[in-house]
Amino acid sequence: MATNDFKPFATGAGANVTAQAEWASLPTLFTGFQSGKASSAQVNKAIRQASFISAALAQYVTNKTGQNVLDDGDMAGFIAKLVSGLGKDFQPTDATLTNLSGKSVAGLLSYLGLGEAAKRDVGAGQNQIPDMSAFASDLRNIGLQRLPGGLILQWGNAAPGTGGDVTVNYPVAYSKRPFFIGMGYRQSSSPTVMQSIVMNDQIVNNIGFVARCFQYQDGQVKAGESAFFWYALGV
C-alpha cells in the first residue's frame, strides 16, 4: 500500500481547537499571531486547517496514482504526481477541446462536420426528423404500414359467400372513412368469365366496408365467389 506522510492535525473528537464561529471573527485571521502568549486552541485551529487540506490532497494523489507521497520537500515530484492523479478523473486539455471552446452553435456544427439534420428535433411535424416508431408496420398478408404524417396504408384479401357479399374489416380502425379503397380479383388460373366487385358506398366507414361480387357467364349475371385483394388509404 502506498504511503502518505501528510497527516491531519487535531482532528480527533474533543480536539482543543477554537470553535469555527469564533475563529471566523478573530482579528488574528488578518494580522496573524502577534507578540505575547497565543491561545493553544487558536494555534491548533490554524494548524488543523492547513494540515487537514494538505493531508486530504496527498491522500487523493496516493489513492489515484498508487505512489508514495512523502514529506521530502520534493515539490516538483509532488506536482507531477498530482497531475497524474487528476488525469484519472479529468480529461486533459487537447487540441479538440481547445478548438471547441467559445464556439457558437453554428461554429460547433461546422467544426464537427454536422449538417442541417443535427439541428432538427425528433417528431412527425414540419422540419422534424421522424423516429422509426412513426413507421410502425404489420407486414403480413393482412397488414398495415403507418407513415409519419399519419397516413395508414392497409391491405388484405377476402372471399365472398355464396350470395356474393363480403364484409371486410381493416386490421386497425381509421379515425374516419378512408380516402380510397381499391380491389382486384385473385385466381389460381386464367379467368374464363367476366367478374366485377362493387363496393356498397353506404357501408364504408372507419372500420371496414361491404362489397358484392358478380360474374357474367352464359349470358347471365350472378353472384361471384372468387377471392380478391383489397387495399385502403386513410388516417
pLDDT at res. 54: 95
The length of the chain, given as a count of residues: 235
Q: Say what the pLDDT of residue 200 is.
A: 86
222: which 3 cell numbers?
A: 350472378
Name the one residue in this structure whose C-alpha cell is 357474367.
216
pLDDT of residue 43: 93
Rounded Cα distance, 176 and 200, in Å: 17
* Residue extent(s) of CATH 2.60.40.3940 domains in the chain: 132-234
State how far Cα 38 lies from the chain centre: 62
pLDDT given at position 92: 66
Q: Could you give phi then psi for residue 16, rounded to 5 degrees?
A: -80, 80
Record the pTM.
0.51
pLDDT of residue 12: 94
| Alpha-carbon Rg for the chain in angstroms | 42
Residues 85 and 61 sit within 8 Å (Cβ to Cβ)? yes
pLDDT of residue 123: 80
Amino acid in the structure at residue 203: I
pLDDT score for 93: 65
Predicted local distance difference test score (pLDDT) of residue 91: 67
Let me know if 214 is exposed, middle or buried by CB neighbors in 10 A (0-12, 13-18, 19+): middle
Q: What's 132-234's CATH class? A: mainly beta
What pLDDT sits at residue 69?
Answer: 94
Residue pLDDT tens, the chain, 235 long:
899 999 999 999 999 999 999 999 998 889 998 888 889 999 999 999 999 999 999 999 999 999 999 999 999 999 999 999 888 887 666 677 777 778 888 888 888 888 888 778 888 778 888 888 889 999 999 999 999 989 999 999 999 988 899 999 999 999 999 999 999 887 767 777 788 888 888 899 999 999 999 988 888 888 888 899 999 999 9
From the list 136, 202, 196, the residue with the least C-alpha distance to 171 is 136
